[in-house]
Amino acid sequence: MSRTNVEVDDLVAAARGGSPRAVARLISLVEDASPRLREVMSALRPHVGHAHVIGLTGAPGVGKSTTTNALVRELRAAGKRVGVLAVDPSSPFSGGALLGDRIRMSDHATDAGVYIRSMASRGHLGGLAWSTPQAIRVLDGAGFDVVLVETVGVGQSEVEIAGLADTTLVLLAPGMGDGIQAAKAGILEIGDVYVVNKADRDGAAKVRRELRSMLTLAARPEGAWRPPVVAIAAQSHTDLDKLTAAIEEHRAWLDDSGTLRQRRIRRAREEVEAIAVAALRSRWEPQGGGRLDELAAAVAAGESDPYAAADALLG
Ligand code: GDP
């Protein structure tokens, strides 16, 4: 066994043993698109598939950070180890969203049962579409019972990270454009549980009503999951138990209906595809895309056609 292999095995063992440093190092390998990831994923393989992956999304200001914090508290009280990934697919070059940092500073800073990380793509290899599922895999393999993936900016990105979750929570709040905004962003299709946050504020009941009636109108096949609407006030930790109950109910439905398996196949498909596409791209982009630029210039100048250029790129 090579030295690298031994190191990776040690790192995985340490992560599974609860070392936040080891988890951090493994996720950094993902962010850096390290060549060692091949070994990491192989070492993690026997340990993955246990975590419940929960996606959490909604417009900025709706209370994602506050809700995550409250949800982590609730899950910790139930004895679960929780990993949180904060990703911002709309600004992959930001070098880490503020969200995770804000949570990190708060209640859970000294709790070894919670690991919180902001994800940056560092602008390569298909960005967060490539790195997020692998980071989820790291946390799953490290033994976290729940992996919360927070995303910013529903429907604005080509990266639908919501599609990676077993259970997707969509957050709304009063005073934010409400129902009409919701319909526009296409969120009626992606939520498994709808959360109306800031229930302490005027207008929350109206958001809830509008959302309920829109969800009722949406056509769903027989036996399909009917997404509940749960009202909470994350800031005062009000009704978080109702939210965890709705999440548990969805999880049970996923198991019973066979949907969990389908969703995990879908997630694995994304992973395999992203890795394969990155491998292809690395054939022509070892130094930053010069060959593609050259071929594109030839196509634009009418000296080549796109099929011939693509053949040349892959050849
Ligand atoms: P994010 O941008 O979606 O992560 O939203 P934040 O969690 O940062 O919350 C945005 C603002 O809403 C902050 O000022 C929070 O204090 C506030 N907020 C969050 N939850 C509640 C709540 O339940 N009630 C009220 N009134 N305000 C809240």
What domain count does the chain have?
A: 3
Cα separation, 243 vs 126, whole angstroms: 33
Q: What is the pLDDT of residue 124?
A: 53
Nearest partner of 52 among 148, 171, 191, 150, judged by Cα: 148
Q: What is the pLDDT of residue 22?
A: 95
Q: What is the pLDDT of residue 218?
A: 77
Cα separation, 163 vs 172, whole angstroms: 19
What are 288's two structure tokens?
Answer: 């930053």
* Pair (75, 105) in one structural domain: yes
Nearest C-alpha to atom 14 of ligand 1 is from which residue? Answer: 61
Residue 117 backbone zone (phi > 0: left; psi -120 to 50: alpha; other: beta): beta
Q: Angle 290-300/306-314 helices, nearest 10 degrees?
A: 160
CATH code, 246: 3.40.50.300
* Pair (20, 153) in one structural domain: no
Neighbours of 73 (CB within 10 A): 17
Nearest partner of 157 among 179, 134, 190, judged by Cα: 190
Q: What is the pLDDT of residue 243?
A: 98
Is-contact 241 73, C-beta < 8 A?
no
Is-contact 101 108, C-beta < 8 A?
no
* Pair (88, 142) in one structural domain: yes
* Pair (40, 54) in one structural domain: no
**Is ligand 1 within 6 A of the CB of residue 237?**
no
- Predicted TM-score of the model (pTM): 0.88
For residue 130, report the distance from its CA to the centre of ligand 1, in Å: 30
Cα separation, 164 vs 30, whole angstroms: 17
For residue 96, report the distance from its CA to the centre of ligand 1, in Å: 20
Mean pLDDT split into 10-residue runs, the chain, 315 residues: 69 94 92 89 96 90 91 95 82 45 59 84 61 92 95 54 83 74 66 95 92 84 91 97 98 95 89 85 72 93 96 88
Does residue 262 belong to any structural domain of this protein?
no
**Is ligand 1 within 6 A of the CB of residue 197?**
yes
* Pair (34, 14) in one structural domain: yes
- Mutate which of 57, 64, 65, 66 for ligand 1 pocket (most atoms within 8 A of beta carbon): 66
Task: Measure Cα distances from 244 to 64, 75, 167, 260 in Å.
Answer: 15, 8, 11, 18
Alpha-carbon dihedral sign for residues 107, 111, 114, 119: positive
Long-range contacts of 92-101, Cβ-Cβ distance < 8 Å, separation of 24 or more: 92/120, 92/121, 92/122, 92/123, 92/127, 92/128, 93/120, 93/121, 93/122, 93/123, 94/120, 95/120, 95/122, 96/120, 97/152, 99/64, 99/65, 99/68, 99/150, 99/152, 100/150
**Is ligand 1 within 6 A of the CB of residue 175?**
no
> What residues make up the domain containing 127?
48-257
* Pair (25, 110) in one structural domain: no
**Is ligand 1 within 6 A of the CB of residue 176?**
no
What are 312's two structure tokens?
Answer: 């040349």
* Pair (86, 108) in one structural domain: yes
* Pair (201, 305) in one structural domain: no
**Is ligand 1 within 6 A of the CB of residue 234?**
yes
For residue 62, report the distance from its CA to the centre of ligand 1, in Å: 6
**Is ligand 1 within 6 A of the CB of residue 57?**
no
